[in-house]
Structure 1
Amino acid sequence: MSTIRTTRPLRVVAVSGGLQRPSKSAALAEHLLDLIASEIPCQPHLIEMGQIAPEIAGAVWRSQLPGAVVQQLVAVEQADVLVVATPVFRGSYTGLFKHFFDFIDQDALIDKPILLAATGGSERHSLVIDHQLRPLFSFFQARTLPLGIYATDKDFSGYRLQSEALIERASLAVQRALPLLQLAQHTAPLQAEEWLAA
């Protein structure tokens, strides 16, 4: 399959709600970033909640956050495309994952394509994508992509994907997203690349 030619690399930011490192959610997010990068020139960037959790847990206002965390928020706000992946905790995304997005400007994600993913201990949590993640990003008026990816523990070997069915579904999700990713490439304004400076 040919790579899409672009004038500027697509800014693709993944946010993992996993609080541990290594994390299955981060591994899934990185896999999706790699799939996107194999199809379209991009600047991939991964944000892991486990790395910034101590700095955001006690903050109420964005002004209380350290500069390094604000830079991560700006990276999300200036991204052309988002990938979000979170472990399921008691039927929903993690609290710090939600807390992070509480600091995002409510107009920053309008029409932004978002690929949704989640990890859980069993199949019984697979509806978290449609029942929890989609409503969250609908509030932001984002453009959630139609095919989400849900992985269970048995889909991994350590922290690497091993399930062929899941790998195929992830590939299909990215293939179906390509028209929107190309549209995002051509419609996003050119901006200075300080968004990743940290």
Structure 2
Amino acid sequence: MTRLSIVGLSGNITSPSKTRALVGSALALAADQLEAETTLLELADFGVDLGRARKIGQLSPEAQANLQKLLDADALIVATPIYKGSYPGLFKHLIDLIDPAALLRKPVLIGATGGGDRHALAVEHQLRPLFGFFEARVLSTAVHVSDKDFTEGVLTGEAALVRLARAVAEMDDLFPASRKLVQAAE
């Protein structure tokens, strides 16, 4: 019996980043609650050719393999930094390379990081419609965190952690048998 596969995508071009910390925290919760196998990908994992690629075949073999991991996952956790009210262009460019039918009904937990709370609605106004276009199953609870939610690069804000746990619990509702199947197989 294979475990549930959850891939996280940090849409930041720098590492380490608060966005990576958010995705990593969500993946850790999902791994614990769902006993899932998790993988964290960053924009840098798609190589220097990402910005020039007009189709998937123009990415390096490694980048294509990483994109395939994302597409093959049972569920996704996707977060991006918000700059001036929206996600970065390179993040959007990666998403633009994906076939419109590739994420059909795939559960997606969306999140974002921003310098302050004024960016919080970008999750609803930018990310939710983006993944809605793909007809993905975007979880109802989205997560936005800001600088005040981090201590030395670690997500520590109590309200943010509670909301993140609630979002991951929605995945548990979508895959209720996953833990029982894994436990039965062991």
TM-score of the pair, normalised by structure 1: 0.86
RMSD, matched Cα: 1.5
For 1:171, the equivalent position in structure 2 comes to 165
1:77-96 equivalent positions in 2, closer than 5 A: 77-96=71-90
> Shift of residue 123 of structure 1?
0.4
Say which SS state the counterpart of residue 85 (structure 1) adopts.
Answer: strand
| Equivalent residues of 1:77, 1:105 under 8 A apart | no
Retained in 2: the 8 A contact 1:73–1:103? Answer: no
Q: Which runs of 4+ in 1 moved over 6 A?
A: none
Which whole-Å CA distance do the structure 1 matches of 2:45 and 2:76 have between them? 19
SS of the aligned residue for 2:5 comes to: strand
CA distance in 1, matches of 2:23, 2:40: 8
Residue 127 of structure 2 is matched in structure 1 by 133
Q: What's the CA shift for 1:51?
A: 4.1
Counterpart position of 2:140:
146
Report the counterpart of residue 70 of structure 2 in structure 1.
76
Gaps of 5+ in 1: 1-6, 187-198
Aligned length in residues: 179
Separation in structure 2 between the aligned mates of residue 8 and residue 52 of structure 1, nearest angstrom: 26
Q: Which amino acid aligns with 1:47?
A: L
Cα distance in 1, alignment partners of residues 121 and 47 from structure 2: 26
- Structure 2 residue runs of 5 or longer lacking an equivalent are 180-186
Q: Secondary structure at the match of 1:13?
A: strand
- Identical columns (%): 40
**Aligned mate of 2:8, from 10, 14, 21:** 14
Query: Cα deviations across residues 71-119 of structure 1 (Å, max 9, x unaligned)?
Result: 1111111110000010001211111111111111211110000001100
User: Following TM superposition, by how much is the alpha carbon of 1:54 offset from its aligned partner in structure 2, in angstroms?
Assistant: 1.9
1:155 aligns with 2:155: no
**Shift, 1:53, TM fit:** 5.1
Within the alignment, does 1:103 sit opposite 2:103 as a pair? no
CA contact (8 A) 2:46 2:59 kept: no
Q: Tell me what 1:50 maps to.
A: 44
Aligned-pair distance for 1:125?
A: 0.7
Cα deviation code 1:12-53 (max 9, x no counterpart)? 000101111101001000000000111112110111013435
CA contact (8 A) 1:81 1:181 kept: no
**1:165 Cα deviation from its structure 2 partner:** 1.2
Q: Which residue of 1 aligns with 2:184?
A: none
